């Protein structure tokens, strides 16, 4: 264990995306010492993912909405990096534990290092407070053919484009549900791909019932309008109440079948139409990445999109004292909300550590909270509008792989439920291995939970993953050895603008 | 008259022990209601590695039960689908020094008298059995009778193969055991209603003590936590269940403190499973990095090739144990019609069929086919 | 209007380099992940599953799905979407669990 008090940070922040970055700079500006851990070599998270400096992108903003917000956070980071923020890039956090040595009021963050966590150097970081800003990953629902090469996550296509400047194909259908689809389609089209169709399972009518909430968030409407206009310019057709129900091709995608859906997302027989393409980018919204928090016992809440999010109070506190969360972990809501929440969390942490709770009572905090609440309300409207309908399971064949890792079919899962007494995702997993593979159910969890609950609605699956990422036995075996001092990463050479 | 909620016997617990009780009772012609608070295999069964072991047991009543169970598992494996992953792969117990080997030799000799087969493996032959085993070990003993099964699937298929005679009601918590005028069992009450039967079998695992209390009797079942590490999928790198000699002492120990001894085995699905830790901390699932560290260090010491292999998953399970480390099996004289089949600690998967068979025999014939005196449920009552 | 992603962001990358995929030589740009370099060469699959032997490649693109596992310079199960491409890297199609050499 670290031996000197200097190894104890005021706050450890897991995740250097919008929420974590905002939390880090705010905390440092308030005089706290911050350890900022992220798996990536760069800051920015998924939303502000951008090319490595070696790729020499002169206009990274061409692939981003609201790049200026990131540029501003980045400048603030540079000015506090020498004083308050220790950046720990390439750190994959596998667990957080409560310190039982010395004073009980501290946390140990356990990480493995390297580009994909392959480094031999396990690291521990101790801190008095913990801010979880671990973001989200894309929610997927299976359909026949979704394991064929050329079918990629919509967010995945976006991520590969933003950081690697590559496309999965030349004609890319974008499908699934959620506001991300329009952004992805517009990026792909900008970058030179043909997008024969955007296929959205919901109708957009769900938005119309909440015009006041929408009108209170003009920046969000502007963002949607930008994407919408871009799609028009590229001649991209948006088909609502539709889904890709089959993928064609032997070794890779050659075409997809798009079918109409009823309001419960049941495919309407006889409506299937073939669309030629060489790739499909698909996603059904995002799911909060909360396993570090749930392993600590933090309470969750069912979000309106059917996912499970952390239950947070007005100052971003989880139910476990000493643990804060911000951004998508508290429910998916986008980068601007994450930035506001990161700042709020940092102010709340500083107030707690300095023993001056009054520091959260000022006008700035009040206005931050108002902004946060307004954006959360908007996010809830979006979430409800894109919540998967119970009928989606009708587009599965019995031999559709649901669990990609362990290749467990829908038929096997249904058998476990109807014949073997499984009533929940955990038992399905035990009886079929669905969710037991490398990704630990991140890709199939929503679908398995849904198939296990015979009602068909998607119950939030609060899966426990005590190991947030895989760790080598050698790294685990070396845990008693003196801690390797974390090596701060040099400042990000991207100038953010 | 047989209504939906009336049967010959109610089994509380849809883990592997409850499933085996239901299976053998149904095979004997009885109708069985199986109730569980959660899903099938939702407790210790779902956290188990599926060990069917004789190698770790001293001569005595538990070993007798284990030997009977091994035969029954072989029979069951013939009748149940292959998916229960029954593997008669044998165990290999390793000694790191000569003193340890001598102790193993003595242990194996005593087991031999009780019907256990064990072959001494000299140091230079260990690699014939386990090519990846570290060098420099003193030797070991091969136990060909040891086997493995996938516990959750085994429980689910046992329940399913009872045909129409077994009626599972999952997600129903028993709130009360209903008794008649003279204190005899009449059935149980759950959150949703009543179920009637003249017999109730307590196969509730770690929850068995609480169920006993709801029937008005004491049975001091306590949880003993264990962590299991699950690696990335691998080809067959470990052929047997391989463990160090200290494991036997840890199993028999009553200490509350964390004890670990490496137990390493492959699975048909690919991942290698690594146990075994034991500590008494109630039902706390909080990750213990110290337990993880010791398990990883122990496993890589036995199999250095695993050092670079990644652990994908870890989980805690709770072994239901009684103070003398023996299960409670049989009728409870304090409540006529109440039977117990719980407290098997870490050996429940292995001991399940024999337990189920004993319970079924008693239900049919009113007597037990072997000496079950050491398993008497009331043995912890203070002597009046 | 841009015809390629590189044009869109006005990329002026450092000089490209070569890596191999099985017996093909492909060109990668500095700063690209192995997966990005493979996509750039039109390669979408670099692994076969251990159950049915089906081809797989990058899916989630952010290190969460582990579908992009590749054998890179002899080490199996590297997440190609996270590992940066380096000059001379040898990427080979990973079969199943990638550890066949450990089988006993």
The CATH number of the domain holding residue B116 is 3.30.9.10
- Provide the number of structural domains found in chain B: 2
* Residue A479, number of CB atoms within 10 A of its CB: 19
Nearest Cα residue in chain C from B308:
C75
Q: According to the model, what pLDDT value does residue A489 have?
A: 62
Q: How far is B273 from chain C (nearest CA, A)?
A: 16
A4 pLDDT more than 70: no
Rounded to whole angstroms, the Cα distance separating A49 from B267 reads 40
3-state class of A322 per DSSP? coil
Q: Which partners does chain A have (≥3 C-beta pairs < 8 Å)? A: B, C
Rounded to whole angstroms, the Cα distance separating B299 from B243 reads 9
Element holding B115 (H helix, E strand):
none
Q: According to the model, what pLDDT value does residue B147 have?
A: 96
Nearest in space to B339 (alpha carbons), one of B296, B375, B371, B311: B375
Whether residues A168 and C39 touch (CB distance < 8 A) is answered with yes
CA dihedral B206, B212, B218, B223 (to 10 degrees): 10
Contacts made by residues A61-65, CB under 8 angstroms, sequence distance 24+: A61/A497, A62/A190, A62/C2, A62/C8, A62/C9, A62/C10, A63/A161, A63/A162, A63/A187, A63/A190, A63/A191, A63/C5, A63/C8, A63/C9, A64/A162, A65/A183, A65/A223, A65/A226
In chain C, the percentage of residues whose pLDDT exceeds 70 is 98
- Every domain of chain A with CATH number 1.10.10.1100 lies at 390-457
B242 and B349 assigned to the same domain: no
What residues in C contact A442, CB-CB < 8 Å?
Answer: 64-65
Tokens of A24: 């880090």
B307 and B226 assigned to the same domain: yes
Which residue in this structure is represented by tokens 């903003």? A61
Spatial contact of C18 and C88, defined as CB atoms under 8 Å apart: yes
- B43 CB-near residues (< 8 Å, 6+ apart): B13, B15, B205, B206, B207, B318
What residues in C contact B239, CB-CB < 8 Å?
Answer: 104
Q: Which of B40, B48, B157, B171 has the highest number of chain A CBs within 10 A, making it the mutation to test binding with A?
A: B40
CA dihedral B244, B249, B250, B254 (to 10 degrees): 180
Spatial contact of B246 and B99, defined as CB atoms under 8 Å apart: no
Of B285, B287, B312, the CB nearest to A95: B287
Question: What is chain A's mean pLDDT, rounded?
Answer: 91
A393 pLDDT more than 60: yes
Residues in chain A: 497
Spatial contact of C75 and C27, defined as CB atoms under 8 Å apart: no
* Residue B368, number of CB atoms within 10 A of its CB: 17
Is the residue at B61 inside a domain? no
* Residue A150, number of CB atoms within 10 A of its CB: 23
Nearest Cα residue in chain A from C69:
A438
Q: According to the model, what pLDDT value does residue A104 have?
A: 60
B315 and B173 assigned to the same domain: no
B337 and B207 assigned to the same domain: yes
Whether residues B14 and A480 touch (CB distance < 8 A) is answered with no
Tokens of A2: 């670290």
Is the residue at B316 inside a domain? yes
- Every domain of chain A with CATH number 3.50.50.60 lies at 5-137+287-382, 140-284
B45 versus A494: the higher-pLDDT residue is B45
What residues in C contact B131, CB-CB < 8 Å?
Answer: 104
Which residue in this structure is represented by tokens 């590749």? C70
Span of A114-123, A477-486, B277-286, B364-373 with lowest mean pLDDT: A477-486
Q: According to the model, what pLDDT value does residue A487 have?
A: 65
Nearest in space to A86 (alpha carbons), one of A490, A496, A495, A494: A490
B372 and B313 assigned to the same domain: no
The CATH number of the domain holding residue B37 is 3.50.50.60
Q: According to the model, what pLDDT value does residue A454 have?
A: 65
- The pLDDT tens digits of the residues spanning C18-45 come to 999 999 999 999 999 999 999 999 999 9
Q: According to the model, what pLDDT value does residue A496 have?
A: 38
* Domain covering A140-284 assigned CATH 3.50.50.60 in the classification: yes
Rounded to whole angstroms, the Cα distance separating B376 from B380 reads 9
Say how many Å lie between the first and final Cα of chain B, rounded.
42
pLDDT in tens, chain B (384 residues): 445 689 999 999 999 999 999 999 999 999 999 999 999 999 999 999 999 999 999 999 999 999 999 999 999 999 988 889 999 999 999 999 999 999 999 999 999 999 999 999 999 999 999 999 999 999 999 999 999 999 999 999 999 998 789 999 999 999 999 999 999 999 999 988 999 999 999 999 999 999 999 999 999 999 999 999 999 999 999 999 999 987 777 777 777 788 888 899 999 999 999 998 888 888 888 899 999 999 999 999 999 999 999 999 999 999 999 999 999 999 999 999 999 999 999 999 999 999 999 999 999 999 888 888 999 999 999 876
Q: According to the model, what pLDDT value does residue A322 have?
A: 96
Among the three residues B306, B321, B336, which one is the final residue of a domain in this structure?
B321
Spatial contact of B358 and B351, defined as CB atoms under 8 Å apart: no
B175 and B296 assigned to the same domain: no
Of A421, A433, A473, the CB nearest to B39: A421
Q: According to the model, what pLDDT value does residue A486 have?
A: 65
Spatial contact of A202 and A260, defined as CB atoms under 8 Å apart: no
Rounded to whole angstroms, the Cα distance separating B173 from A5 reads 50
Spatial contact of B229 and B40, defined as CB atoms under 8 Å apart: no
Span of A22-36, A483-497, B100-114 with lowest mean pLDDT: A483-497
Q: According to the model, what pLDDT value does residue A458 have?
A: 53
B259-265 and B271-278 beta bridge pairing: antiparallel
Mean of pLDDT values over A362-369: 94
Identify the band that residue A101 occupies on the pLDDT scale cut at 50, 70 and 90: low
Mean of pLDDT values over A349-363: 90
Is the residue at B62 inside a domain? no
B279 and B368 assigned to the same domain: no
Is the residue at B295 inside a domain? yes
Q: Is the dihedral of CA A474, A480, A482, A483 positive or negative?
A: positive
Whether residues C82 and A59 touch (CB distance < 8 A) is answered with no
The angle formed by the CA atoms of residues B299, B60 and B256, to the nearest 5 degrees, is 50
**Class level of CATH domain A5-137+287-382:** alpha beta
Residues in chain C: 104
B316 and B197 assigned to the same domain: no
Q: Where are the beta strands (DSSP E) in chain B?
A: 9-12, 32-36, 51-52, 91-95, 119-122, 139-143, 147-148, 166-170, 174-179, 185-190, 194-196, 200-202, 222-233, 241-244, 259-265, 271-278, 310-321, 328-331, 338-342
Nearest Cα residue in chain A from B316:
A466
B286 and B163 assigned to the same domain: no
Spatial contact of A274 and A296, defined as CB atoms under 8 Å apart: no
Among the three residues B283, B301, B321, which one is the final residue of a domain in this structure?
B321
Rounded to whole angstroms, the Cα distance separating B43 from B152 reads 10
Is the residue at B349 inside a domain? yes
* A427: preceding bond cis by omega (within 30 degrees): no
Is the residue at B167 inside a domain? yes
**Which domain, by its residues, includes B311?**
91-143+222-321
Say which CATH topology domain A390-457 has. Answer: Arc Repressor Mutant, subunit A (1.10.10)
Q: Which domains does chain C have, with CATH numbers?
A: 14-96 (3.10.20.440)
Is the residue at B82 inside a domain? no
Element holding C7 (H helix, E strand):
helix C5-8
Identify the band that residue A490 occupies on the pLDDT scale cut at 50, 70 and 90: very low
Identify the band that residue C80 occupies on the pLDDT scale cut at 50, 70 and 90: very high
B293 and B345 assigned to the same domain: no
Cβ contacts below 8 Å, chain A against chain B, sum to 121
* Residue A375, number of CB atoms within 10 A of its CB: 23
B238 and B267 assigned to the same domain: yes
A423 versus A414: the higher-pLDDT residue is A414
Query: How many Cα atoms are found within 13 Å in the side-chain-facing hemisphere of A477?
Result: 22
Of B156, B289, B307, the CB nearest to A95: B289
Q: Which partners does chain C have (≥3 C-beta pairs < 8 Å)? A: A, B
B16 and B165 assigned to the same domain: yes
Tell me, yes or no, if the pTM score tops 0.90: yes
A34-37 and A85-88 beta bridge pairing: parallel
Spatial contact of B314 and A467, defined as CB atoms under 8 Å apart: yes
């Amino acid at each position: 264990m670290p031996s000197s008090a200097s190894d104890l940070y005021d706050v450890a922040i897991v995740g250097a995306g919008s929420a974590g970055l905002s939390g880090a700079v705010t905390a440092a500006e308030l005089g706290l010492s911050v350890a900022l851990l992220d798996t990536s070599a760069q800051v920015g998270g998924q939303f502000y993912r951008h090319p490595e400096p070696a790729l020499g992108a002169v206009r990274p903003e061409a692939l981003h909405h609201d790049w200026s917000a990131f540029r501003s956070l980045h400048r603030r980071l540079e000015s506090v990096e020498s004083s308050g923020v220790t950046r720990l890039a390439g750190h994959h956090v596998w667990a957080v534990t409560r310190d039982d040595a010395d004073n009980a009021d501290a946390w140990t963050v356990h990480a493995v290092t390297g580009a994909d966590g392959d480094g031999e150097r396990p690291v521990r970081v101790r801190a008095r407070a913990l801010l979880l800003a671990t973001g989200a990953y894309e929610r997927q629902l299976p359909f026949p053919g979704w394991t064929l090469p050329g079918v990629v996550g919509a967010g995945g296509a976006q991520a590969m484009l933003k950081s690697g400047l590559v496309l999965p194909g030349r004609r890319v259908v974008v499908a699934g549900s959620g506001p991300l689809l329009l952004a992805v389609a517009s990026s792909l089209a900008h970058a030179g791909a043909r997008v024969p169709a955007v296929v959205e399972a919901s109708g957009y009518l769900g938005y119309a019932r909440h015009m006041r909430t929408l009108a209170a968030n003009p920046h969000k409407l502007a963002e949607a309008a930008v994407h919408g206009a871009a799609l028009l310019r590229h001649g991209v057709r948006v088909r609502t109440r539709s889904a890709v129900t089959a993928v064609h091709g032997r070794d890779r995608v050659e075409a997809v079948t798009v079918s109409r859906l009823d309001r419960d997302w049941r495919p309407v027989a006889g409506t299937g139409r073939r669309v030629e393409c060489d790739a499909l980018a698909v996603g059904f919204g995002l799911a909060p990445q909360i396993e570090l928090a749930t392993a600590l016992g933090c309470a969750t809440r069912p979000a309106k999109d059917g996912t499970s999010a952390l239950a947070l109070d007005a100052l971003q506190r989880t139910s476990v004292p000493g643990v804060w969360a911000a951004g998508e972990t508290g429910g998916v809501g986008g980068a601007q909300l994450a930035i506001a929440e990161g700042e709020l969390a940092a102010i709340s942490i500083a107030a707690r550590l300095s023993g001056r709770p009054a520091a959260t009572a000022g006008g700035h905090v009040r206005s931050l909270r108002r902004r946060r609440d307004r954006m959360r309300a908007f996010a809830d409207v979006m979430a409800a509008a894109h919540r998967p309908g119970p009928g989606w399971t009708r587009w599965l064949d019995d031999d559709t792989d649901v669990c990609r890792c362990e290749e467990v079919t829908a038929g096997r899962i249904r058998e476990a439920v109807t014949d073997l007494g499984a009533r929940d995702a955990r038992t399905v997993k035990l009886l079929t291995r669905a969710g037991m593979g490398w990704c630990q159910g991140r890709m199939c969890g929503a679908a398995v939970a849904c198939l296990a609950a015979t009602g068909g609605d998607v119950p939030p699956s609060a899966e426990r993953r005590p190991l947030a990422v895989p760790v080598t036995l050698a790294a685990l075996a070396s845990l008693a050895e003196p801690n390797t001092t974390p090596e701060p990463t040099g400042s990000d050479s991207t100038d953010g603008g | 008259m047989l209504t939906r909620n009336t049967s010959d016997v109610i089994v509380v617990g849809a883990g592997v022990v409850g499933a085996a009780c239901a299976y053998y009772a149904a095979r004997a012609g009885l109708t069985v209601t199986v109730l569980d608070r959660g899903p099938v295999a939702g407790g210790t069964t779902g956290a188990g590695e599926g060990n069917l072991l004789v190698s770790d047991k001293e001569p005595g009543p538990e070993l007798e039960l284990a030997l009977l169970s091994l035969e029954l598992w072989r029979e069951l494996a013939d009748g149940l689908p292959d998916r229960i992953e029954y593997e008669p792969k044998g165990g290999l117990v390793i000694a790191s020094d000569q003193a340890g080997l001598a102790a193993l030799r003595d242990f194996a000799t005593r087991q031999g008298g009780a019907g256990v087969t064990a072959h001494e493996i000299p140091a230079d032959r260990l690699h014939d059995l386990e090519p990846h085993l570290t060098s420099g070990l003193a030797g070991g003993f091969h136990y060909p009778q040891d086997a493995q099964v996938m516990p959750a699937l085994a429980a689910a298929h046992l329940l399913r193969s009872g045909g129409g005679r077994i009626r599972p009601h999952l997600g129903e918590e028993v709130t009360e055991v209903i008794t008649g005028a003279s204190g005899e069992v009449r059935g149980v009450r759950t959150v949703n209603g009543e179920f009637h039967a003249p017999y109730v079998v307590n196969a509730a695992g770690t929850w068995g003590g609480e169920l006993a209390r709801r029937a008005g009797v004491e049975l001091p079942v306590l949880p003993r936590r264990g962590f299991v590490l699950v690696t990335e999928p691998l080809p067959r790198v470990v052929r047997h269940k391989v463990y160090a000699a200290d494991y036997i002492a840890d199993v028999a120990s009553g200490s509350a403190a964390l004890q670990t001894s490496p137990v390493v085995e492959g699975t048909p699905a690919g991942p290698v499973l690594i146990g075994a830790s034991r500590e008494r901390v109630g039902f706390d699932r909080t990750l213990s990095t110290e337990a993880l560290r010791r398990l990883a260090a122990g496993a890589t010491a036995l199999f250095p090739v695993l050092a670079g292999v990644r652990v994908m998953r870890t989980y805690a399970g709770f072994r239901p144990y009684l103070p003398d480390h023996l299960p409670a099996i049989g009728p409870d004289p304090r409540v006529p019609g109440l039977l117990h089949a719980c407290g098997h600690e870490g050996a429940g998967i292995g001991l399940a069929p024999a337990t189920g068979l004993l319970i079924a025999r008693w239900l049919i014939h009113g007597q037990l086919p072997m000496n079950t005196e050491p398993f008497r449920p009331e043995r912890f009552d203070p002597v009046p | 209007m841009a015809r390629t992603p590189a044009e869109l962001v006005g990329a002026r990358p450092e000089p490209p380099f070569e890596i191999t995929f099985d017996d093909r030589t492909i060109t990668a740009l500095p700063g690209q992940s192995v997966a990005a370099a493979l996509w750039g060469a039109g390669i979408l699959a670099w692994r076969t599953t251990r159950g049915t032997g089906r081809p797989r490649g990058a899916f989630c693109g952010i290190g969460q799905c582990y579908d992009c596992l590749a054998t890179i310079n002899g080490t199996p199960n590297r997440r190609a979407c996270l590992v940066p491409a380096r000059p001379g890297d040898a990427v080979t199609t990973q079969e199943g669990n990638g550890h066949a050499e450990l089988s006993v």
